[in-house]
Amino acid sequence: MVFPYMETVVGFMIVMYFFETYLDLRQHAAHKLPRLPKTLEGVISQEKFEKARAYSLDKSHFHFLHEFVTVVMDSAILLFRILPWFWKKSGNFLVLVGLDAENEILHTLAFLGGVMLWSQITDLPFSLYSTFVIETRHGFNKQTVWLYFRDMIKGMLLAAVLGPPIVSAIIIIVQKGGPYLAIYLWGFMLVLSLVMMTIYPILIAPLFNKFTPLPEGELKEKIENLASSQKFPLKKLYVVDGSTRSSHSNAYMYGFFKNKRIVLYDTLIQQCKNNEEIVAVIAHELGHWKLNHTMYSFITLQLLTFLQFGGYTLVRNSTDLFRSFGFDTQPVIIGLIIFQHTVIPIQHLINFGFNLVSRSFEFQADAFGKKLGYSSALRAGLVRLQEENLSTMNPDPWYSAYHYSHPPLVERLAALDEPDKKVD
């Protein structure tokens, strides 16, 4: 008797849907609370609280619908054997246009092209509503319909250019990897991730946003002095025109070794009351670098990737696994997709663990900024970003423990108010 792999996967998907919907209901009830947490009274304005509350409720209602449609569609695709049907249809398409359907690389590219098109079509109504109804209603969306579709087309073209060589390489590695397949796959993905981390900010991100050097002045001087004091090898300071698409704000840094760059969203500069708050936010980001959080996360991710490929090599030739999902052949890409479905329970646990570690890192980075003397400015900056982004003011503790990669504002402010502690 063949083990019901597919039915087990669908069953777990549905169980997780109900569990996460329960957490969503708890969060929705928290959104309805008419008052701020006591520790935020007098810190967050009542006007901003009401706006954040309305924004959170709108997103919550939309989230319930989106998640329901998603779980129904994903379950139907598996239960009604849509994947094997679509695999056969993509082969028929190749024959129709005069190409060799027996060529696994061509067959896979045709299959993935169809999947990408299907995903774009089915997700489009939700994306449009989220962007042009919810985000516009609450004053965040700044992009036109033309800009939205231009970005979408650019993304699809990038996938069409970058996808085929990557997919082809993976198929060839699996076909010829032999007993060291997991090592070869991991090595390929490691090199690919390093290449993408290098070229994305230089070649890809500028296709969507304009990056300009931060003008000379007090802010630039303060950031450069801060970076110099921590021996951060800052080479470039950029401002990105995030306001062309959204009024949400952010800041990040990237680059390898002695070639680091810091990017500020123009909305962050506009929203912060003074330069000290912006510098405090950068001090927090420098804390992640100084405390090696990015390196720890990268190493952990590489270890998990290697283990995942190791697991894949154990089941990639399982005829029963493929048959359970409706396949009478064993294409490489299908094996990877099926394996991803079967390890969903482990992925949920890993994501939960990552969130726990991430929240710990955020507290440590806050403490680092505090140690540098930015406690009051960081406190003010965090409050400002919470207000301007209309972030959730009353998160449910169970929901935040499961989903949040950053601690709630109340917890971060409480940690900043604690007596100084040594940062290792």
**408 and 295 share one domain:** yes
Measured CA to CA, the distance from residue 340 to residue 305 in angstroms comes to 12
Q: pLDDT digits over 221-266, tens only?
A: 999 999 999 998 888 889 998 888 888 888 888 877 677 888 999 8
**297 and 266 share one domain:** no
Q: pLDDT digits over 278-310, tens only?
A: 999 999 999 999 999 989 999 999 999 999 999
The verdict on residue 248 lying in a domain is yes
Domain that holds residue 266: 211-271
**318 and 257 share one domain:** no
Give the per-residue pLDDT at 151. Answer: 93
The verdict on residue 223 lying in a domain is yes
The verdict on residue 186 lying in a domain is no
**43 and 118 share one domain:** yes
Q: pLDDT digits over 343-378, tens only?
A: 988 999 999 999 999 999 999 999 999 999 999 999
Query: Six-digit token pair at 320?
Result: 């029963």
Binding site for Zn(2+), residues?
284, 288, 362
Catalytic option among 104, 277, 366, 396: 366
The answer on pLDDT for 421 being more than 80 is: no
Average pLDDT over the chain, rounded to whole?
92
Query: Six-digit token pair at 15?
Result: 């169980």
The verdict on residue 282 lying in a domain is no
The verdict on residue 284 lying in a domain is no
User: Final residue of a domain: which of 271, 302, 320?
Assistant: 271
Q: Which pLDDT band holds residue 423 (cuts at 50, 70, 90)?
A: very low
The answer on pLDDT for 101 being more than 90 is: no
User: Final residue of a domain: which of 271, 301, 316?
Assistant: 271
Share of the chain above pLDDT 70, in %: 98
The reported pTM is 0.89
Catalytic option among 135, 285, 396, 411: 285
Q: Which pLDDT band holds residue 420 (cuts at 50, 70, 90)?
A: low
The answer on pLDDT for 422 being more than 60 is: no
**127 and 30 share one domain:** yes
**383 and 315 share one domain:** yes
Provide the CATH number for the domain around residue 254: 3.30.2010.10
At residue 308's C-alpha, the angle toward residues 306 and 314, to 5°, is 105
**11 and 134 share one domain:** yes
Q: pLDDT digits over 154-203, tens only?
A: 999 999 999 999 999 999 999 998 889 999 999 999 999 999 988 888 88
**136 and 9 share one domain:** yes
Establish whether 366 is a catalytic residue.
Answer: yes
Give the per-residue pLDDT at 7. Answer: 94
> For the chain, what is the domain count?
2
**36 and 92 share one domain:** yes
The mean per-residue pLDDT over the stretch 53-65 comes to 96
User: Final residue of a domain: which of 225, 243, 271?
Assistant: 271
Share of the chain above pLDDT 90, in %: 73
Query: Six-digit token pair at 107?
Result: 């067959």
**48 and 12 share one domain:** yes
The verdict on residue 304 lying in a domain is yes
The verdict on residue 264 lying in a domain is yes
Give the per-residue pLDDT at 261. Answer: 87
**238 and 302 share one domain:** no
Binding site, residues?
284, 288, 362
The answer on pLDDT for 407 being more than 90 is: yes
**118 and 38 share one domain:** yes
